[in-house]
A and B are shown apart, each in its own frame.
Chain A
């Protein structure tokens, strides 16, 4: 009889005060965050999308359907800026993360002067893009910049260039700057990941007479892979939005060779002789979709198929 259900249906008892949902508190806690999110994120995104279907002038707003999107599809400068941004966003993360891994391994192996190198390699990321841009404009100066001065001292005068003045090498020159700037940050994150590796796995490999190369390739890299992938994605997103450095150094020139989507959007919004916010909003909307799609693709590609166990 003990397991037998009672024939009398359970009566719905009123909830005790402690069991009721504390709606007042929930609303009080959520409201500030919700308000800020709505005002500063959701509304601007919605407004940008709205603007992209309109001509938005100070005293006039006119629905124009897909006209801005059609114009954008035929805008050569936009596609040039897309190409530049993609090159930057693909090349830079690979360079930054691979160099950072080597530096982190050097520090992990406790090279002499490691404290100094850790600070020196990390320092660039503490500076703003504005300061970095100004410094590198000096370094890249044709006549007296450090880059050409070093080449001249080494007897490589013919290699001296107007590094950010020549359309053929301006973009690689800027990519070099972001690599210099962000490698230290990636290095510190990777160093933390290396220090958190399980020592027994590495010690077991050493007992098996595993060499440095094999240990790196078969043990260390697989173990820090999630960190590597996160750094790649973060760097990719950062470069897809790059603006400050370009604005300080080249303003997108020469001949659009360093034009990025962000600089072009700014130019269309504030520098072209028009007040229309519709077209720049279209660029922003399209680029938002590009970045989102790229990040989702990367996340899908890099998803961890086999969970590591140790």
Chain B
């Protein structure tokens, strides 16, 4: 990523120009919000298709309507929510869910860091609100916008908002589709019991990064299968995931990933 030029502006307060290392001129405007909102629509549609599935599968897994909607409204993280459905029970494994969500979403740490040239001058409230709306899609769109020299945090909040609306609404629609109630179309006959792993497969395909992914993926799969046999539900994902990351980190080569 190219280092953005910064420190060119000077802060001129009432006391006159202040000779400090100024952060890049930073805005948070309604215009940026609108721009993000509009440009976010195509990706929001693709998110809606996942939200629709989330609603359907949540119902199939006997998650209550309120709980499914709450998840989409306050968690707002596709992979983590599908992962939660995977280990969901009438009495949910609270700790496993918490740690699994931490592990699944840990990539957001890196994504946030990747925006630092843009956000370094931002106030805390702006950062913390932006963070809520930073999902994979809005982040990618924002990085793209960053290249065209915009410095408007409204953009990520705007694009995240349209995706947030799409995610919540499509969850409701998916949950409300009532064909499961008709027993002629049982979930098994429709193949819906396999829908979740199929979605996970769809999500994992773009994560393949060539040969450097081979060892971590094998380790993750092996450890996960073993844990699935011997441990309570949910831990297979956490421990398998950590094994994969460790394998990739300890035995992988560094130079391929320096862009």
Report if A and B associate in a common complex. no
What is the interface of chain A, defined by CB distance below 8 A to chain B?
none
